[in-house]
Amino acid sequence: MEPKHLYFPSADIHLDISLPASKSISNRALIINALSGSRSEIRNLSDCDDTQVLIRALKMDQSIINVGAAGTAMRFLTAYLAMTEGEWTLTGSERMKQRPVKLLVEALNNLGAEIQYIDKHGFPPLFINGKKLKGGTIHLDGSVSSQYISALMMTAPCMQEGLNIVLEGEIISLPYILMTMNMMKEFGVEVKFLTNRIEITPQFYKPVDFTVESDWSAASYWFEILSLVGEGEIFLKGLHQNSYQGDSKVAELFDNLGVAVQYFSDGVLLMPNKVNIDYFNYDFINQPDLAQTFVVCCCLKNIPFHFKGLKSLKIKETDRIEALKTELAKFGFLLTEPAAGELAWSGEKKEVCHFEETGEIFIETYDDHRMAMAFAPAALMFPVAIEHPEVVSKSYPTFWDDIERIDKRERKSVN
């Protein structure tokens, strides 16, 4: 696909945006609903690639399941298929075959599963002989992907002995674990979570009517846009103040970067508050998917920062820390990695690296939807060309249609 060419130098921001449904909630709801045996459809499911992959896989019309680049689907289906009778082959894209799944596979095999690696040890594709799992007690490093923990939690009530998960060390992405726990409770399963121990006894899920709320992670890009423009307003439909999503923290964080929020029954209104801090220091351990938004936004607003809690960014769709350093250097921002899982900018700059013929800055997206969306607001200040813009379909398929509504009458395109 051709690059997406964008430039909005005189944007007038007055927008109503219908955000996509939460991918995280949609994918959990699909697995739990399937385990409950419910024939009810989950309402307002996300239209993103990850969720559509999961919908197709749960129909079980073939034994070979290819999840493409959908990391959540890979983790959740590994656990789900491990206890679903039959023989399954679970594979994905070339990048997916490089993303580790060893800790989850080892945990499941210790609980009675029969999962084998087809190619490289510790990585997809997997051969799974699905059967009833015994369950028991396992110890996991708390710094592993929360998707491993959530996958085990959701299948735990169906194990013969239930499951006790002892988390050792620092627990990252805690809001995602709490999201899973709260959704399990909504479907009738009790979960005990005390300090570092998750206890789930054998139980039955109850079918319930469930509607997925809009995605706070997707909302972050509109916070970034209003923060950069500094005037106007944006109404984001379908968001709730009392949300399952840890990324709802974005509203509080952007209060430091010029954006205030007013809550309504059908969404939230973003308005300028004229507040901008001089230096941003924050630990994203509980909201890693917001990191790219804040890194790009702070650079474009010339606000030095030091962000921690980014270790999981190394094993996402790409190495997001390296990707951010590389792409922001094209705008002249020289970022550093003070320690593992950290990213900082002191204010140091160099010459902007734009394409001579058009004056555009070309942004690589690395098969990563969040790289594309976090950098798109840079078009408010620079002509940009986003390579492989189709990657946004992973979580926000209508993103470019929504973006191009910015100041449509005055937009200066470099197409």
pLDDT digits (tens, 9 = 90+) for 50-101: 899 999 999 877 899 999 988 899 999 999 999 999 999 999 999 899 999 9
Same domain, 338 and 275: yes
Query: Which of 157, 172, 200 is where one domain is finished?
Result: 200
Q: Which of 178, 200, 222 is the last residue of a domain?
A: 200
Residues 299 and 341 in one domain: yes
Which residues does residue 375 pair with via DSSP β-bridges, in sequence order?
none
Q: Does one domain contain both 8 and 29?
A: no
3-state secondary structure 45-109: CCCCHHHHHHHHHHCCCCCEEECCCCHHHHHHHHHHHHCCCEEEEEECCCCHHHCCCHHHHHHHH
Examine residue 412 and state whether it is found in any structural domain, yes or no: no
**382, 282: one domain:** yes
Looking at every residue in the chain, the average pLDDT score rounds to: 92
Q: Locate 171 and state its tokens.
A: 């627990």
**Mean of the pLDDT values across residues 269-292?**
94
pLDDT band at residue 313, thresholds of 50, 70 and 90? low
The pLDDT score that the predictor gives to residue 309 is: 85
- Residues 224 and 174 occupy one common structural domain: no
Does the pLDDT at position 336 exceed 90? yes
Q: How confident is the model at residue 414 (pLDDT cuts 50, 70, 90)?
A: very low
Is residue 98 a part of any domain in this protein? yes
289 is catalytic: yes
Q: Which residues pair with 276 in a beta bridge?
A: 257
Q: Is residue 57 part of a domain?
A: yes
pLDDT of 153 over the 80 cut? yes
Identify the CATH number of the domain in which residue 299 sits: 3.65.10.10
- Mean pLDDT over 301-323 rounds to 82
pLDDT > 70: what percent of the chain? 96
Shared domain for 157 and 292, answered yes or no, is no
What are the pLDDT digits (tens) for 91-125? 999 989 999 999 999 999 999 999 999 999 999 99
Residues 15, 28 within the same domain: no
Q: Considering the domain boundaries, does residue 378 fall inside one?
A: yes
Q: How far apart are CA 379 and CA 11, in angstroms?
A: 10
For the chain, how far is it from start to end, CA to CA, in angstroms?
A: 14
- For residue 38, what pLDDT is reported? 84
Helix axes 216-229, 291-300, angle to 10 degrees: 0
Let me know if residue 228 belongs to a domain. Answer: yes
Is residue 163 located within the same domain as residue 312?
Answer: no
Task: Indicate if 161 and 295 belong to the same structural domain.
Answer: no
118: domain range? Answer: 23-200
- Asked if residue 131 belongs to a domain, the reply is yes
Instruction: Measure the CA–CA gap between 28 and 34, rounded to whole angstroms.
Output: 10
Count of domains for the chain: 2
The last residue of a domain, from among 200, 230, 248? 200
Instruction: Say if 206 falls within a structural domain.
Output: no
Average pLDDT value for residue range 300-304: 97
> Which of the following is catalytic: 50, 215, 247, 289?
289
Say whether pTM exceeds 0.75: yes
